Structure 1
Amino acid sequence: MKAITNVSGVDGTGKALRNTTILIKDGRFTSIEETASIPNGYEVIDATGKYFTPGLIDVHTHLGVHEEGIGKEGHDFNETSAAVTPQVRAIDGINPKDQGFADARRAGVTTVQVMPGSANVIGGEMCVLKTTGTIADEMVIRNPSGLKAATGENPKRFHGDKGRMPTTRMGVAAILREQLIAAQTYMEEHRTGKTARNLGLEHIGKVLNKEIPLRVHAHRADDIVTVLRLKREFDIDLTIEHCTEGHQIAPFIAKHDISVSVGPTMTPRSKIELADKGWNTLLALADASVPFSITTDHPVIAIEHLMTSAILAVKYGLPEEEALKAITLHAAKHLGVDDRVGSAEVGKDADFVLWDGNPFDLRNKVLQTYINGELV
């Protein structure tokens, strides 16, 4: 049980905190009041001179499945033996000892989504977890949290270069349709006992049943439009991951009731799909009222630069409050875990960060990161 006194900062919902007392019990926020008595037995932490924010959230990472600094042995994020691998699960490849988790904690990142890579048209299930722990199952707060799919250059390159489908964008879309139709057929036949279990089709069935969204890697505007076409055809929930050219078609995206993950915008333009990359994407999506989050796509950009990315978004015109929500509350909503994380509110997990000043000043740093009320 902890009492954080003299708290100043923000709660993630847009509300400023000033001289606030925050009580924490059983890993959750139990009181957030400007005047509050502290019960006996509480450890008191004086936050005078510090700046409080909720724990940061990166919605699109490969932490633990693409380990840093060890080369091929740490590359467990793309099962490239086939273009369609919905049967694989990111949780089975996560190594909690990956250095990236420690880097995340030091940077105030308390929750991440870990997903397969984008080599395959369908790459497998993903999960959301806290960034502290030694056993992946005990770190998880949502599993599965989505099914990974990818359009564009990556699946074409990984599989087309090996002489197998897809070799074109038409082929990518055709494979997605075939797999969704196959899962529809499988679900009906399995209900009537006419077919044996098929793990991959079961996972796609979760998308069709709207248990989880299809989270689709799409950079170019035409690929985004194709993905939204599939959403209409199959009536599924989905998110757009990266959305690099989203600014070109933001009003069209807004018609489809989806959220998007934008980034990693700090990268160079390493391929054709990134030619029109820029921070203006966030501004256009905001103007069109499309919910968005900011991501590093760790380790494409190191996870310690999630806050740096938000700072740069502000530099190029995004309001500071919206930039913070893009890595806290809106990120939690993107992942479907906003009942637990994303803001400092009574009943939610006590994940928060104490900084030595406003984190939107790049000179300021994390002093302490807490997850479930514990200093990590």
Structure 2
Amino acid sequence: MQYDLAIKNATVLIVETGEQKEQQNILITDGKIVKITDQKNFKSKQEIDAQGKLVTPGFIDTHIHPTDVFGDYDEAPLYIPKDSVENYRQQLSREYLPYGITTALMMGHPENWLDDIIQWKDGNSRYTDFLTCGGALISKEEREPYIGHLTVDSENSAKEKVIEYHHKGLEHIKVYHRLREPEFSAVIKTADSLNMKVFGHIGDFDPKRLSIQQTLEKGLKNYEHIATLPYSIIRTESEWEKFDTHFESLFGRANTLEKVLMMFLEAFRYIDENKTDDINELIKQLGQNNTTFSTTLGLIHRQFKSSHYFPLSENSLSKEQIERSKANFEIMMRYLKRMSESGIPIRIATDSKFGGKTLLTELKILSDYGFSTQEIFKISTLNGAQAIGLGKEIGSIEKGKTANIIIWDKSPFDNSENYFSEKTIIKNGTRLN
């Protein structure tokens, strides 16, 4: 048999265990991994000599917004012109694929885009595979919804929207913290009956909205953004007022993006000092209910510290506030580590305009705060694949899986700065660079 591509002399990472198998040959045909062997007697149309370098699966970003890339909420188009669909796909992919992100899940965009982008999961070797949740579902409110949100105004309309998305071929649904009852339960029950995966951004400044504990009881399994965790602990109006007063005494009003983000971090310190039993119980419940939780670390981190791609920019934070926020971030990361160690699969979710740069930054952040390289690769590959229901197709280098592969010039196992090193990207069995 002649294979399409052979990656020779590779050090293959087994992401489930962290084992590195040396002198392996990855044999690929029709975009799939056919065989992984140390035998030398094979024929292939093309060969790449990895020269002993580390070879890992492609990254999976489980939370992106194309509106960020196409102009944010103010400037993103309501429609994608028919003659520009390919250009938009190329523009979006440029933010992800060169950095090793071979699969990403869109968590909200204008519904008018749906018919044009639903096929962007087709395995084209030139682009990242983009899956979509359609519009992020919210209940009816007086204010206008954001461009990526979609209002369902009754239990029946929520059910019908999920069924409509299922008929269109969607396999994922996004619920936002502005989705209330009875719409929330209707979405969960309908999606579950159709074997669709539901992801929820739960937790808000308003304690009247649903908490993580309440949504666990209703069957939600996948949660967005570790920073939201404390807002399901600070639940009563009196306690919220107490915390709000506490935050304003240190930071002033949360009237800028950086102060809103620092408020999330200060909430971690608040519960760490005042409600440790409650957060420990919540983490226990999350583990018992087989949930997953996403990261979204980069946007917060760059408000108070520079990194490889993101210099520290001027903002409204004082030197004292920055130092306090650094300490608060460390508290948040300690809880994230505890969640991971308790068996809750953590997955990467950049939620950022600069998706690929942010993902690599998040890997470095995880390393800086005590996650092992083995854990980090599992978080950024297999955990995400399993959460989005594609664990049998992507997320690890195994026979029968899609050949989405990264060959590293320098191994992150040697130095965490090497996450930013040069990489050779293989997408669906095709070398891109």
TM-score over 0.5 for the pair? yes
Matched residue type, 2:197: P
Is the 1:28–1:349 contact (alpha carbons within 8 Å) kept by the matching residues of 2? yes
- State the alpha-carbon separation in 2 of the partners of residues 59 and 25 from structure 1: 27
Give the C-alpha shift of residue 101 in structure 1: 1.4
> In proportion to residue count, which structure has more helix?
2
Instruction: Return 5+ residue gaps in structure 1 as ranges.
Output: 78-91, 166-174, 189-200
Q: Check 1:214–1:335 CA distance in 2 against 1; reply closer, same or farther (3 A cut).
A: same
Aligned residue pairs total 317
- State the alpha-carbon separation in 1 of the partners of residues 162 and 366 from structure 2: 44
| 1:115-264 alignment, distance < 5 Å | 115-116=107-108, 129=121, 139=129, 148-149=136-137, 162=143, 179-180=154-155, 183=158, 204=187, 206-219=190-203, 226-233=211-218, 236-246=219-229, 248=279, 249-264=282-297
1:327-362 Cα shifts (integer Å, max 9, x gaps): 100010111111111000000000001111113532
How large is the Cα RMSD of the aligned pairs?
4.3
> Tell me, what secondary structure is at the counterpart of 2:11?
strand
2:76 alignment counterpart: 74
1:158-185 Cα shifts (integer Å, max 9, x gaps): x55x3x89xxxxxxxxx98x74466569
1:19 matched to 2:19: no
Give the C-alpha shift of residue 285 in structure 1: 0.9
1:103-150 Cα shifts (integer Å, max 9, x gaps): 312111111111216x99xxx9997847856899xx45x5x6687346
- State the alpha-carbon separation in 2 of the partners of residues 265 and 285 from structure 1: 19
Identity %: 19
> Tell me, what secondary structure is at the counterpart of 2:63?
strand
Is the 1:207–1:213 contact (alpha carbons within 8 Å) kept by the matching residues of 2? yes
> Tell me, what secondary structure is at the counterpart of 1:23?
strand
Matched residue type, 1:312: I
> Tell me, what secondary structure is at the counterpart of 1:44?
strand
Q: TM-score, normalised by structure 2?
A: 0.61
- State the alpha-carbon separation in 1 of the partners of residues 216 and 366 from structure 2: 29
Give the C-alpha shift of residue 319 in structure 1: 2.0
Q: Check 1:71–1:213 CA distance in 2 against 1; reply closer, same or farther (3 A cut).
A: closer
Q: TM-score, normalised by structure 1?
A: 0.69
1:24-75 Cα shifts (integer Å, max 9, x gaps): 0110001111224213x43121110532111011110113x43256884435
1:6 matched to 2:9: yes
> Tell me, what secondary structure is at the counterpart of 1:218?
coil
Equivalent in 376, 392, 411 of residue 358 of structure 1: 411
- State the alpha-carbon separation in 2 of the partners of residues 338 and 330 from structure 1: 8
> Tell me, what secondary structure is at the counterpart of 2:425?
strand
Matched residue type, 1:350: A
1:51 matched to 2:43: no
2:342 alignment counterpart: 288
Q: Check 1:232–1:69 CA distance in 2 against 1; reply closer, same or farther (3 A cut).
A: closer
1:303 matched to 2:287: no
Q: Check 1:130–1:354 CA distance in 2 against 1; reply closer, same or farther (3 A cut).
A: farther
- State the alpha-carbon separation in 2 of the partners of residues 306 and 338 from structure 1: 20
Instruction: Return 5+ residue gaps in structure 2 as ranges.
Output: 80-84, 146-150, 164-182, 231-278, 305-314, 317-324
Matched residue type, 1:112: A
Give the C-alpha shift of residue 308 in structure 1: 2.1
